[in-house]
Structure 1
Amino acid sequence: MVLHPQSMCPARESAIPVRVKNSYNPQTPGTLITKERDMSKAVVTSIVLKPSITMLDIVSTRMPGKYGFLAKVFSIFEDWHISVDCVATSEVSISLTLDQSKLCSRELIQQELDHIVEELEKIAVVKLLQNRSIIFLIGNVHRSSLVLEKAFNVLRRKGVNAQMISQGASKVNISIVVHDSEAKECVRALHSAFFENTNGFNHESSLETN
């Protein structure tokens, strides 16, 4: 079962616990979502796989230090009413993924992407990368360095190069982009590293979203 984030708003505002159950195995306790939880021993609490996403690598053709590049890039997505999901950026380059849920309801996905790339190419060199997956590692804000170190070791052993890495301001969610063909095997390996060989680390669940 997958819950839309907005469906959780009333429970969050009222501090009402929500239990998520597996409809195929209702006897299991499932996952209990509460307002607060003891995270002192947790490293990763869940792994989420979001497959079949679109990624863009955008490198500015302007001189370093020239203002307005980021604003122009995001104004193009605003004009086309397309939401950006994950972002990794420097002064003159951006890697980002598009919110697939905002694209799936559209009839002209590829045509819109072509127009966006055409607009971006007026100010940047653009690579459109499809058939990518995002692996979200959700865990302890105070132990994010340990999460990254362990995740990188897993990817290295699998011979997988992360194509993009993003961490939000809350530091709770670390996003790693890999190719679709590598994603499920990476999730299995990460699950084994964090949850099966835990050395005392706590965990909750691993999820896949479509």
Structure 2
Amino acid sequence: NDSERGKIKSIAAKDGITAIKIQSSRMLLAYGFLRRVFEIFERYKTPIDMITTSEVAVSVTIDDISNLAEIIKELNNFGTVEVDYNQTIVCVVGDFGADKHGFAARVLEALKHIPIRMISYGGSHFNISLLINDGDKVEALRSLHNRLFE
């Protein structure tokens, strides 16, 4: 029964996403770096959908590119900025609590043939979000459905 705890409930996709990666080995670990990055998006009233970080880079996704040129200009002060257009966020919703084993692996296994640009997992126990190219969306949704629901 899909309403039971421990089940994957649904798959959703959001198109029209733009990914922005800011790479800066000198700034990223500096105190206040992320706050300054987020302030730029706040100044331009541009919500962030996803975020991932590493030791040398932070990647975010947005769906409103009306102020993208200005945002990029300001982000360039922090380091190298890369932009990927035509992306899709695929979100798998279910019970991914720490006591559940194998659900994330099943999601990634279903998409092993599709390049994944970003993964957001752990902010909530109820979803895993993946960023892929728009052109891979139909195949990704089909593969996830076949692997998770059949």
Determine the C-alpha separation between the residues in 1 that align with 2:139 and 2:100. Answer: 22
Q: In structure 2, what is the equivalent of residue 137 of structure 1?
A: 92
**What's the offset of the Cα at 1:95?**
1.1
Q: In structure 2, what is the equivalent of residue 9 of structure 1?
A: none
Name structure 2 gaps, 5 residues minimum.
none
Determine the C-alpha separation between the residues in 2 that align with 1:79 and 1:88. Answer: 21
Q: In structure 1, what is the equivalent of residue 50 of structure 2?
A: 86
Cα distance change of structure 1 residues 56 and 63 upon mapping to structure 2, 3 Å threshold: closer
After superposition, give the CA deviation of every residue in 1:105-137 in whole Å (9 maximum; x if it has no partner).
xxx82xx10110010001121111110001001
Q: In structure 2, what is the equivalent of residue 146 of structure 1?
A: 102
Q: In structure 2, what is the equivalent of residue 39 of structure 1?
A: 5
Give the TM-score of the pair, scaled to structure 2: 0.89
**What's the offset of the Cα at 1:38?**
3.4
Report SS of the residue matched to 1:128: strand
After superposition, give the CA deviation of every residue in 1:60-96 in whole Å (9 maximum; x if it has no partner).
2525642121111001001111111111112431111
Instruction: Indicate the structure with greater helix content.
Output: 1
Report SS of the residue matched to 2:102: helix
How high is the sequence identity, in percent, across the aligned residues?
33
Note the aligned Cα RMSD (angstroms). Answer: 1.9
Give the TM-score of the pair, scaled to structure 1: 0.65
Q: Report whether the alignment pairs 1:77 with 2:32.
A: no
After superposition, give the CA deviation of every residue in 1:149-207 in whole Å (9 maximum; x if it has no partner).
11221222xx21210000242221110000000011110110011001xxxxxxxxxxx
Runs of 4+ in 1 over 3 A off after TM superposition: none
When the two structures are aligned, how many residues end up with a matched partner? Answer: 147
Question: Aligned to 2:129, which of 146, 154, 175?
Answer: 175
Report SS of the residue matched to 1:141: coil
Instruction: Check whether the contact 2:28–2:34 (CA below 8 A) recurs between aligned residues.
Output: no
Cα distance change of structure 1 residues 80 and 132 upon mapping to structure 2, 3 Å threshold: same
Determine the C-alpha separation between the residues in 1 that align with 2:33 and 2:10. Answer: 35
Determine the C-alpha separation between the residues in 2 that align with 1:144 and 1:184. Answer: 28
Determine the C-alpha separation between the residues in 1 that align with 2:115 and 2:135. Answer: 12
Determine the C-alpha separation between the residues in 1 that align with 2:78 and 2:142. Answer: 40
Counterpart residue type for residue 114 of structure 2: V
Determine the C-alpha separation between the residues in 2 that align with 1:134 and 1:49. Answer: 6
